[in-house]
Structure 1
Amino acid sequence: MNIGITGTGSYIPSVITPNQAFDQNVFLNADGTPFSYPNAVIIEKFQAITGIGERRYAKNEYNTSDLGFFAAQKAIDDAGIDKETLDYIIFAHNFGNVPHGKAQADTVPSLATRVKHLLQIKNPRCVAYDMLFGCPGWIEGVIQAHAYIKSGMARKCMVIGGETLSRVIDQNDRDSMIYSDGAGACILEATSDGGNILAHESATYSQDEAYYLFYGESYDKKATDTRQYIKMYGRKIYEFAVSHVPKALYDCLESSGIGIEEVKKIFIHQANEKMDEAIIKRFYKLYNMDVPEGIMPMNIHEMGNSSVATVPTLFDMVRKGEMKPHSVQKGDVVIFASVGAGMNINAIVYKI
């Protein structure tokens, strides 16, 4: 029995926010002091490092659960399944629903339950729950769904990754330019001749690394509200990722029994262009190889970093021929990989 992805869907928000939209922001250091150089220089350096030229934000009337619903419906249609046959809906996110203009996240009921409600699934045995695992949440959800199906507890699962990070960014923090919104989903089921998960790898590093990403106050020390925002120690995350992710990829591929030369694409979390390039370079160095041309599709340049949504939206776009010249075909071996808050790392070797 194979356990494969039989349908995918994504929702890319329509609000395009270019880097120039940050021209008038008052960027501050963590201690509240201003930078000594103008925004034009800050933005130029930011794009050179991250590769981000623009990002997508959700319309004010949509919440993360709405984005997840849009992606979920597309995945169900793509797989051609009866939604009532789903055994699990797993929704990976980090901040729940944060309504536009509000300071508080809403996670009751769970986002997975909200999606089930919006899909109007009547079957009470379709269990809906949320996954909190940082940016690697969607991949971890796929790993859990795979375990359910492999054990006989389920036959069909849907895994969603969605976020509206534009609602939790500090306008005084230059890192606010990184984050974006979006959602991706997949249907995973037992098949006789379809795709198959060949190996997976997960790890959590929670000593010094636990709080590299965290919730913190605005850098504006004069701010009167107590709102919390997504914060990170960017340099520490970069060093952590390039030190640990290549080995996780290597271990996962070795467990699969697949040779490195058989890997057609690596779908890695769209966090930072330079960081992702360094990870892949170090991964191939473990095999004494140069990075093959076209091995790593990237949409961060136009989409930004939508956390748990980056890998499923990227895979959906390539799978459906929306990122030429990139493509995947039945029988291709690909790797999914991510790193993020926790600090968590995971990877999947998947044969399409």
Structure 2
Amino acid sequence: MNIKITGSGSYIPDTIETNESFHNHEFLNVDGSTINSPNEVIVEKFKAITGIAERRYAKTHHTASDLGFFAAEKAIEDANIDPETIDYIIVAHNFGDVKHNTIQADIIPSLASRIKHSLRIKNPKCVAYDILFGCPGWVEGVIQAKAFIKAGMAKRCLVIGAETLSRVIDKHDRDSMIFSDGAGATIVEATDDNGGILAHETATYTYDEAYYLYYGNSNNQDLCRDTRYIKMEGRKIYEFALNNVPKAMKACLDQSGADISEVKKIFIHQANEKMDEAILKRFYRLYRADIPENVMPMSIQKLGNSSVATVPTLFDLVKNNKLENHSLNQGDVVIFASVGAGMHINAIVYKY
């Protein structure tokens, strides 16, 4: 028995927010003081570091669970399965459903229950639950699905990552330009086919790192101090990721039995273009190997950072030949890897 991804789907919102739309924002320092640079310069420096030129925002009447439902429908269709045969629906997110122009997160019922309801699944033994695991949530959901299947508790799972980060950003914080909305979904099941999940690795660092990402006040001191927004210690996250993600990827690859020369694609969380490129360099340096051409597809330039949705969306785009110069062939060894709030790191080595 092998455990494989038999279907995938993604939902990329239509609304495009370009970098130019931030030229009229009032960006402030953490203490509320004015930044002594024109917005055009701020945005230009931001693009040079992150690679982001535009990002996608959800339509005003959609929530994260809506986006997850849209992606789930596509994954179910792609896998050509009866949704009533799904044993678990695992939904990764960070902020629940946040309606447009509101500040309150809604997680009752869980997003997984909402998506199951939208899918009109009647089977009560299809168990639906959410996981809060930062940006690595979808990868961790796949790892949990594997565990359920290995333990004989399930044969088929639907794993979704969905987020609307545009609704929890502080518009006075330059970091707000990073975040976006979207959803990705996969069907994970036991099959007799070759390949599937070869190994996985997960770690949580909290001794000094727990609050590198957190909920904090607006940089605008005049706004309500009881309203919170997503905040991050960017430099600390960057250094943490560079020091720890390549090691986790190596531990996972070594455990899988595959050789570094067999790796065809690395689907890494789309957090920051420069950071992802540096992680890739350090990973291959651990093997004293050259980086192959086109091994790391990127979507952050056009889609931004949609947290739990980046990895499954990226995988779905490449799988369906929707990303230029990237494709997958049967037997390809690929790595999924992510880092995010917690601080969590995880990786999966997978044979397509």
Shorter chain as normaliser: what TM range? over 0.9
Does the 8 Å CA contact 2:134/2:342 hold for their aligned counterparts? yes
Compute the displacement of 1:44 (Å): 0.3
Map of 2:320 onto structure 1: 320
Say whether residues 1:90 and 2:90 are aligned partners: yes
Say whether residues 1:344 and 2:314 are aligned partners: no
Does the 8 Å CA contact 1:3/1:194 hold for their aligned counterparts? no
Say whether residues 1:66 and 2:92 are aligned partners: no
Give me the whole-angstrom Cα distance separating, in 2, the residues matched to 1:276 and 1:292.
Answer: 15
Does the 8 Å CA contact 1:6/1:194 hold for their aligned counterparts? no
Cα RMSD of the aligned pairs, angstroms, is: 0.7
Partner AA of 1:332 in structure 2: D
Compute the displacement of 1:289 (Å): 1.5
Map of 1:157 onto structure 2: 157
Say whether residues 1:178 and 2:157 are aligned partners: no
Compute the displacement of 1:330 (Å): 1.2
Give me the whole-angstrom Cα distance separating, in 1, the residues matched to 2:294 and 2:251.
Answer: 22
Partner AA of 1:55 in structure 2: R
Count of residues in correspondence between the two structures: 352
TM-score, with length taken from structure 2? 0.99
Partner AA of 1:62 in structure 2: H
Give me the whole-angstrom Cα distance separating, in 2, the residues matched to 1:324 and 1:143.
Answer: 29
Partner AA of 1:188 in structure 2: V
Q: Give aligned-pair identity as a percent.
A: 68
Partner AA of 2:217 in structure 1: E
Give me the whole-angstrom Cα distance separating, in 1, the residues matched to 2:122 and 2:58.
Answer: 28
Secondary structure of 1:348's aligned partner: strand
Give me the whole-angstrom Cα distance separating, in 1, the residues matched to 2:63 and 2:32.
Answer: 31
Map of 2:46 onto structure 1: 46
Partner AA of 2:269 in structure 1: H
Secondary structure of 1:176's aligned partner: helix
Residues 209-261 of structure 1 show CA distances to partners (whole Å, capped at 9, x for unaligned) of 00000000100001136221000000000000000001000000000000000
Does the 8 Å CA contact 1:299/1:314 hold for their aligned counterparts? yes
Aligned residue runs from structure 1 range 1-352, under 5 A: 1-224=1-224, 226-352=226-352
Residues 197-219 of structure 1 show CA distances to partners (whole Å, capped at 9, x for unaligned) of 00000000001100000000100
Compute the displacement of 1:290 (Å): 2.2
Compute the displacement of 1:293 (Å): 1.1
Give me the whole-angstrom Cα distance separating, in 1, the residues matched to 2:163 and 2:195.
Answer: 27
Give me the whole-angstrom Cα distance separating, in 2, the residues matched to 1:90 and 1:195.
Answer: 22
Compute the displacement of 1:292 (Å): 1.2
Secondary structure of 2:20's aligned partner: helix
Give me the whole-angstrom Cα distance separating, in 2, the residues matched to 1:6 and 1:93.
Answer: 22
Moved more, 328-337 or 218-227: 218-227
Give me the whole-angstrom Cα distance separating, in 2, the residues matched to 1:173 and 1:158.
Answer: 35
Residues 157-202 of structure 1 show CA distances to partners (whole Å, capped at 9, x for unaligned) of 0000010000000000000000000000000001011541000000
Residues 92-131 of structure 1 show CA distances to partners (whole Å, capped at 9, x for unaligned) of 0000000001110000000000000000000000000001
Give me the whole-angstrom Cα distance separating, in 2, the residues matched to 1:120 and 1:87.
Answer: 14
Does the 8 Å CA contact 2:136/2:346 hold for their aligned counterparts? yes
Compute the displacement of 1:59 (Å): 0.2
Secondary structure of 2:211's aligned partner: coil
Give me the whole-angstrom Cα distance separating, in 1, the residues matched to 2:224 and 2:124.
Answer: 45
